[in-house]
Structure 1
């Protein structure tokens, strides 16, 4: 085996040393990535190096032996509810989508609405999707989706918040979600928890509340981890954890010094939600 190869059990024995972690410090791992004019001193065989939290985005994580990587896929249970003047109730009320499309042909042109119902009296409101569109403009796939009220196509309209805001001044976004957790990588002896967020539609739930709930730890403890540089997000900004969950965000927790690391990892990988 080459002298600069890692003999970590999770690897193939032929990866560069900086993929793994048992080195004296993270600086040594970083220096291993830099070009040098001198021949590097071979590292002891069997050594595994802990990845620097700072460099997690640039490391080749396929070769890292200290990662528990999971993907959280969030799907809202309830679509946004616009507040509309209800003729049955005599006041503004939230309306829920019925999931049904109404089509009307006027010569060679079509009008389409998504039918909503008052949550109290079931009076309907037809939300205009388009007017006076030709069949050729729509295309066969869109026309078919309209004709059979295709659930996926309808859902995309339901979560078109920009379109809804043009129809209603107030829109309720229920925070309830279906959460599916998938383990991507689970290295033995992991110390870094990597959570990838997948959310196709807007979710009315703050990051800190999501993490506290699903990792079974308090928000004050999350803040302490954040303040200590042990909790990061990518893309990152100072107040990211107080904002709504966004698709594509990565959450990284360095739990190397945390006594209940395994319990947190189990919460991250397993879910009773949905």
Structure 2
């Protein structure tokens, strides 16, 4: 068995839809919200700004505001960023939503269930040892063990025998990693 991979294959974890937010609705028992059309609300009171990201309850549709900036001086924000809030810039909505400090401050978590997929090319059968590099387009938390089992269609026992990696495979990660798939032991 060769100990050095002959080929490096890229695997990419890619978003299929924006994640849901795990946050309690004040009108109904739901704990899920969406960003809907991805809108900000900007309120200018004299020289101070209030900026919120609008979210909708996934069950009853109630609109709630998540604080992005609260009573900040207008001049404290770069003009391009402020224009992005006014224009409901999709990239600024994503950046805001994926910011862990924003999530912590507004007490929500992202729910990625059913909102991402793995893009993985087939592994050539003639190669006995393959290195696979996993990258994440978005911060989707997955257990490497589950991702490898899903991507290769093998059991956890087979992962233990055939996969070598430097990351803990049973702990969720949002960071890219790589692993080596060894040929099956005969």
Please, what TM-score do these two structures have when normalized by structure 2?
0.82
Within the alignment, does 1:115 sit opposite 2:54 as a pair?
yes
CA distance in 2, matches of 1:193, 1:67: 6
**What are the within-5 Å matches in structure 2 for residues 1-274 of structure 1?**
50=2, 52-53=3-4, 66-76=5-15, 77-87=17-27, 89=28, 91=29, 93-98=31-36, 99-168=38-107, 171=109, 173-176=111-114, 177-181=116-120, 189-225=126-162, 231-233=163-165, 236-237=166-167, 240-255=168-183, 257=184
SS across alignment from 2:94? helix
CA-CA distance at 1:189 after TM superposition: 4.8
CA distance in 1, matches of 2:129, 2:78: 48
Q: Which runs of 5+ in 2 are unaligned?
A: none
Q: Which runs of 5+ in 1 are unaligned?
A: 1-24, 26-49, 54-65, 226-230, 260-274
CA-CA distance at 1:103 after TM superposition: 0.7
Work out the number of aligned pairs and report it: 183
Deviation larger for 96-105 or 171-180? 171-180
CA distance in 2, matches of 1:246, 1:172: 12
SS across alignment from 2:39? strand
CA deviation profile, 1:191-220 (whole Å, cap 9, x unmatched)? 322121211432132111111111121222
Larger radius of gyration: 1
Contact 1:111 1:133 in 2 (8 A): yes
Output the aligned Cα RMSD.
Answer: 2.8
CA distance in 1, matches of 2:91, 2:121: 23
CA distance in 2, matches of 1:137, 1:200: 30
Higher RCO, 1 vs 2 (CA within 8 Å, ≥6 residues apart): 2
SS across alignment from 1:166? helix
Please, what TM-score do these two structures have when normalized by structure 1?
0.58
CA 1:164–1:246 in 2, change beyond 3 Å: closer, same or farther?
closer
